[in-house]
């Protein structure tokens, strides 16, 4: 098809999954099988899931697809989680790499911090890169216009994000200082404009 694809294996209650697919593992397998049946090159597919067990399954049973699988990082749901405290991250960045994970996808705010002179990479972001993980944050333009209301996605940089144009500053810091591989967005025009201006491919 000439495009890269990043389908998400959506969460569902276990009873529904078992009734339709038989097990969570078979549900994860079905996603891969559908793309195999369509003749999709594994190099073009980045399957994603919030369930780390799904990523583990793909890595073990479908390594050609699994090596590009993306773990949607939901560690922030732990009330004890802090981006500046690696002891609050379970599993750790290093343990993710040890089990074969290469791509993680956290919300944007987990990658940023408000410094005295502007937006900075968070400790979480630096640790992820140091561990060798590739990062695909979400979601760039999901929230209302900046300045109209506080945004969950930009909460860690809210001291420096006040108007719509500040999105470009956020994106530039993510690219230049965090070193993201890609970014999820609900409106591709802004990110495409930035990528063209910066000659990114």
Question: Where do the domains of the chain lie, and which CATH numbers do they carry?
Answer: 1-69 (no CATH), 73-201 (3.20.20.190)
Per the confidence metrics, is the pTM higher than 0.85? yes
Q: Is 17 helix (H, G, I), strand (E, B) or coil?
A: helix
- Give me 164's structure tokens: 């719509």
Query: Could you give the C-alpha distances from 188 to 88, 132, 168, in angstroms and in order?
Result: 34, 27, 13
**Sequential pLDDT tens for the chain (201 residues):** 789 999 999 999 999 999 999 999 999 999 999 999 999 999 999 999 999 999 999 999 999 999 999 999 999 999 999 999 999 999 999 999 999 999 999 999 999 999 988 999 999 999 999 999 999 999 998 876 776 667 899 999 988 988 889 999 999 999 999 999 999 999 899 999 999 999 997
């Amino acid at each position: 098809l000439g495009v890269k694809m990043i389908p998400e294996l959506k969460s569902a209650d276990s009873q529904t999954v078992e009734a339709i697919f038989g097990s969570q593992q078979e549900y994860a397998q079905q996603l891969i099988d559908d793309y195999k049946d369509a003749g999709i090159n594994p190099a073009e597919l980045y399957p994603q899931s919030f369930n780390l067990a799904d990523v583990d399954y793909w890595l073990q049973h479908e390594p050609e697809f699994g090596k590009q699988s993306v773990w949607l990082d939901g560690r922030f749901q732990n009330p004890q989680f802090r981006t500046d405290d690696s002891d609050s991250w379970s599993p750790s960045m290093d343990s993710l790499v040890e089990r074969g994970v290469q791509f993680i996808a956290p919300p944007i705010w987990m990658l940023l911090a408000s410094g005295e002179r502007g937006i900075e990479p968070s400790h979480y972001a630096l640790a992820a890169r140091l561990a060798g993980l590739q990062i695909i944050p979400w979601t760039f333009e999901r929230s209302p216009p900046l300045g109209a209301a506080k945004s969950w996605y930009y909460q860690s940089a809210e001291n420096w994000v006040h108007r719509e144009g500040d999105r470009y500053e956020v994106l530039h810091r993510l690219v230049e200082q965090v070193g993201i591989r890609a970014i999820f967005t609900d409106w591709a025009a802004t990110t495409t404009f930035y990528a063209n201006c910066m000659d990114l491919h």
